[in-house]
Amino acid sequence: MSMVIEIENLTRKYGKGIGEVVAINEISLNIEYGEFTAIIGPSGSGKSTLLNLIGGLDKSDSGSVLLAGRDIAKMSGSQMSDFRRDRIGFIFQAYNLIPVLSAEENIEYIMLLQGIPSVKRKERVQEMLFLVGLEGLGHRRPSELSGGQQQRVAVARAMASKPEIILADEPTANLDSKTGMALLDMMRQLNEDQGVTFVFSTHDEMIMKRARRLIHLRDGLVALDERNSNATP
């Protein structure tokens, strides 16, 4: 299989002089299309920083990130914005839904930016609501949904534009174990059925048990990169 993410000698530092912190220290790794991978490690190990660098939400000090063969450092701001819009889905710990929009409108928003015709947008929104188990609740705003339901909307929004990559930063952190497990099972099913590449940043055991690959970070370095032969089906 070809690589969807290629990282070479990636470094990210914060601060200067005595206060300098090396969050990511010359990391190199590749992720293939269709992987279900978890980046794990203790707090401060660099998990979220690495995910933000992969998604172009942060800039490295050195090294490179290639997404689907394209060097994101060589993209202009507008090119990177368009690339994220069309090819990367993001799922955040805090959901990041637009509070004044309904669930349907939140899911539809990126497709609106893509210029997808209204009829196709509406069909896709209903398809995604069904996939994440929220049919009939599309008219509700985030404040009218539970935390688990809001995160399902966030997953639907991330999937709606049919991206090649979904980056999920601690997606289960604010959920109870039952809701988190159901959400993860749903994402695994979407990964298997539609071949979307999922990359998680997490310290959640439920995600670790389901991920097929575990990349262990410690102090900004890859301490271990292993296939999880015991991944939960």
Residue 151 in any domain: the answer is yes
Residue 115 in any domain: the answer is yes
Quote the CA–CA distance of 33 and 29 in Å, as a whole number. Answer: 14
Total domains in the chain come to: 1
Residue 177 in any domain: the answer is yes
Residue 118 in any domain: the answer is yes
Quote the CA–CA distance of 185 and 210 in Å, as a whole number. Answer: 8
Residue 150 in any domain: the answer is yes
Q: What phi and psi values does residue 86 have, to the nearest 5 degrees?
A: -95, -25
Global pTM reads 0.90
Q: Print the domain residue range for 162.
A: 35-48+74-227
- CATH of residue 166's domain is 3.40.50.300
Residue 28 in any domain: the answer is no
Tens place of pLDDT per residue across the chain (233 aa): 589 999 999 999 999 888 899 999 999 999 999 999 999 998 889 999 999 999 999 999 999 999 999 999 999 989 998 998 888 999 988 888 999 999 999 999 989 999 999 999 999 999 889 888 899 999 999 999 998 899 889 988 988 888 889 999 988 887 788 888 888 888 888 888 888 899 999 988 999 999 999 999 999 999 999 998 888 87
Residue 56 in any domain: the answer is no
Q: How many CA atoms lie within 13 A of 18 on its CB side?
A: 0
Residue 91 in any domain: the answer is yes
DSSP 8-state code for residue 150: H
